[in-house]
Amino acid sequence: MPASTTPKAPVSIQMPLVFNTAQHIRLMVHGIEPYYTTNYGAAYLSDSRELLRKIPDSSVDLFFTSPPYALHFKKEYGNVEKEDYVEWFLTFAREIFRALKDDGSFVLNIGGSYNKGIPTRSVYHFKLLIALVEEVGLHLAQECFWYNPAKMPMPAEWVTVRRVRVKDSVEYVWWFSKTPWPKADNRAVLRPYSADMIRLNQRGVRRTVRPSGHNIKTSFDKIDNGGSIPPNVVEEELIPSDMLVSGNNAANDPYTLRCKESNSRIHPARFPAALPEFFIKLITNDGDIVVDPFAGSNTTGAVAENLRRRWLAVDTIETYLASSKFRFADVHHNNDAPDES
């Protein structure tokens, strides 16, 4: 057969998995128009599973989210029954695993709850933890904690009426990774040295071995590393504690004030900016991609914007997504999205 008539193999055009860092984040997702965009991010009114399926493989540096908890009473923003929670959440988790980079992380804030009608705790969230590791294939990089002093004393039946339980003020923040070696640098979240550490540095320590077997060297008291390594409990303000302390009841922040001024619905289950800020600083770098599949009032996107990270946020309730725009000084709508170049 003449060479000119030899059939040619079809040309396969490979789309890049990761778009150019100069391009806007909205170009990462095809087929779904963003509800609004900012200089660094895009918010979507959608079922997050639909959007997650469109995110390219191995392209996200950090998923940070707080999904509706499996509470025994219904919330206006929706929540799933405990019996169905694990299977329900795994439909999101499998897409998260696929979209994570090999050195990427998934940080999940989840709270516990009581069993219905009796003063005993549910273990649904521990079942979820095990399933995320054993069924999805994630690694538990570290378990962290958020102390929220603003949590209500619930259920009232056991805490304030019968007085047989104490107030629940701690929520879990589980840091998962796709491989055992996620990108992280605790020097990005160092805290000021405590007064005790400064006094110890001035006084000095002698070499010794503690009863626990820990070897205390003469360099133990040195304070020339830029700050103190933080504990695994997030806190909004520096207080004499090893807890990550942040209330979620701010009444005078710009978001809440703008919601009140415009008579917009305020999301009832917001987490404080200090929570995503801690992990975004710890786990990501400038220009990295952060995704929140259960965005709510989009605290994650606002923090990522301020830290110059590109972000995607998704929620199914338009009223919450609409008021989340108050967190940003510069919001673009579909017809005036920022230049992709």
- The CATH number given to whatever domain includes residue 300 is 3.40.50.150
Residue 336 pLDDT grade (very low, low, confident, very high; cuts 50, 70, 90):
low
239 and 181 in a common domain: yes
Provide the pLDDT for residue 61. Answer: 98
273 and 140 in a common domain: yes
In a domain, 66, yes or no: yes
Distance CA 187, CA 244 (A): 17
Q: Give 153's contacts (C-beta < 8 A, 6+ positions apart).
A: 159, 160, 167
Provide the pLDDT for residue 152. Answer: 84
Which amino acid does the sequence have at 78?
Answer: G
**Residues in the chain, overall count:** 341
Boundary residue ending a domain (177, 204, 228): 228
Which tokens sit at 301?
């996107």
211 and 284 in a common domain: no
Q: Which residue has the higher pLDDT, 228 or 113?
A: 113
311 and 175 in a common domain: yes
237 and 198 in a common domain: no
Distance CA 270, CA 264 (A): 15
Distance CA 164, CA 321 (A): 39
pLDDT over 50 at 315, yes or no: yes
Distance CA 211, CA 109 (A): 36
In a domain, 331, yes or no: yes
Provide the pLDDT for residue 224. Answer: 60
In a domain, 295, yes or no: yes
Q: Which residue has the higher pLDDT, 169 or 341?
A: 169
Q: Are 221 and 200 in contact (CB under 8 A)?
A: yes
CA atoms within 13 A on the CB side of 254: 9
Provide the pLDDT for residue 288. Answer: 97
166 and 178 in a common domain: yes
pLDDT over 50 at 240, yes or no: no
Q: Are 166 and 159 in contact (CB under 8 A)?
A: yes
Boundary residue ending a domain (228, 248, 280): 228
89 and 203 in a common domain: no
In a domain, 25, yes or no: yes
Q: Are 310 and 25 in contact (CB under 8 A)?
A: yes
278 and 140 in a common domain: yes
199 and 77 in a common domain: no
Work out the percent of the chain whose per-residue pLDDT is above 90. Answer: 52
Distance CA 161, CA 267 (A): 28
* Domain tally, the chain: 2
In a domain, 4, yes or no: no
Class of residue 278 by CB neighbours under 10 A (exposed 0-12, middle 13-18, buried 19+): buried
Q: Which residue has the higher pLDDT, 228 or 286?
A: 286
What does pLDDT average to over the chain?
Answer: 80
239 and 221 in a common domain: no
Mean pLDDT (whole number) for 42-59 = 96
Phi, psi of 253, rounded to the nearest 5 degrees = -75, 160
Segments forming the whole domain that contains residue 141: 21-190+230-335
**How many other β-carbons are positioned within 10 Å of the β-carbon of residue 22?**
9
Provide the pLDDT for residue 2. Answer: 44
Q: Which residue has the higher pLDDT, 216 or 260?
A: 260
Mean pLDDT (whole number) for 189-194 = 74
Phi, psi of 315, rounded to the nearest 5 degrees = -155, 155
pTM, entire model: 0.79
Q: Are 65 and 298 in contact (CB under 8 A)?
A: no
198 and 184 in a common domain: no
- Report the SS3 class of residue 242: coil
Least confident of 65-74, 78-87, 228-237, 256-265: 256-265
In a domain, 68, yes or no: yes
Residue 243 pLDDT grade (very low, low, confident, very high; cuts 50, 70, 90):
very low
Provide the pLDDT for residue 72. Answer: 44
Mean pLDDT (whole number) for 165-176 = 92
199 and 135 in a common domain: no
Class of residue 94 by CB neighbours under 10 A (exposed 0-12, middle 13-18, buried 19+): middle
In a domain, 1, yes or no: no
In a domain, 324, yes or no: yes
Phi, psi of 33, rounded to the nearest 5 degrees = -80, 135
